[in-house]
Structure 1
Amino acid sequence: MATYERETYVDASLEDVWEFHSRIDGLEALTPGWMGLSILAVRGPDGEPDPELLEAGSEIDMRLGPLDLPGNSWTSVITERTSSDERGLFKDEMRGGPFARWVHVHQFRREGEGTRIRDTLHYELPDPARATSPFAVVGFEPMFRYRHRKTKELLEG
């Protein structure tokens, strides 16, 4: 399985960064507009619609791109979510979507007055029939560069 990683420092408290990443509007704010993200449904661990916080067991049904093409829709499941006074971690996994495998680990660590954010993505490329996914076309670097820049902009301001 291939791995992509990106790390950045945000001059904002761990509590603020963790809270921001714990809500669906954080995902929406950090997804570049050119990816055409549409959130179709959000379910909490007990199946309740539109939970306030994305806890372990929450599911997000989404579509990427302006067209409803095969491979552009997927479900992301929060499979792990833990936090302490010094760290936070959550993991989401793709269930049904454009990749053979997708596991995204979000790590947050208190560093002085700010927070160190690290994204680690483990993935297997899609089969050729799904190679038209927005990720397959542009790669991960522009998306994660945008996410980290936008996090700094929203939380440091």
Structure 2
Amino acid sequence: MATFERELRVRAPLSEAWAFHSTEEGLLALTPAWLNLRVERIERPEGGGDSDVLTEGTRIHASVRPFGVGPRQAWVSYITEREEREDTAYFVDVMEDGPFPEWEHTHALYADGEQTLLRDRVKYRTPAGRLGDEAARFGLAPMFWYRHRRTRDILDGP
């Protein structure tokens, strides 16, 4: 599988960055408009409550239509792991259905005083093989550039 990694440091404590990144609101705020994301429904695990926090066992049914071209593409993500400690937090979402045969995105956050280091790591495989995996980087790079710019805009404050 191919791997794509990016990291960002924000001037916000871990608790604030974690609270933002682990919600449906955070997902929507960090998705570029050109993807035309639509969250169709969210399945919460038994006893998962009504909170908008994306807990382990949450399944997100969404669709995208990049640049408004072509039919909408279904995308189902499943939160396989979620852990919060005093100085670190992370969650992992795996694509169960969508344009990639394999996709695992780890959202890791590390406390550094009143700052937080965010590290995104995506392990993926496209249907087009190795050449497609390399080409996918050209789509992932601007998407994560946008995500990190929006994160900084939202969390860094004035």
Q: What TM-score results when the alignment is normalised by the length of structure 2?
A: 0.87
State the match for 1:141 in structure 2.
141
State the match for 1:69 in structure 2.
71
Check conservation: 1:42, 1:50, Cα contact below 8 A.
no
Q: How far did residue 111 of structure 1 move?
A: 1.1
How many Å separate the matches in 1 of 2:151 and 2:90? 16
How many Å separate the matches in 2 of 1:33 and 1:48? 29
Structure 2: runs of 5 or more not aligned: none
How many Å separate the matches in 1 of 2:34 and 2:5? 21
- CA-atom RMSD in angstroms: 2.3
Q: Residues 5-84 of structure 1: matches in 2 within 5 Å?
A: 5-46=5-46, 51-65=51-65, 66=68, 69=71, 72-84=73-85
Give the AA of the match of 2:30: L
Change (3 A) 1:114 1:51: same
Change (3 A) 1:39 1:67: farther
Structure 1: runs of 5 or more not aligned: none
State the match for 1:102 in structure 2.
103
Q: What TM-score results when the alignment is normalised by the length of structure 1?
A: 0.88
Check conservation: 1:41, 1:49, Cα contact below 8 A.
no
Check conservation: 2:2, 2:125, Cα contact below 8 A.
yes
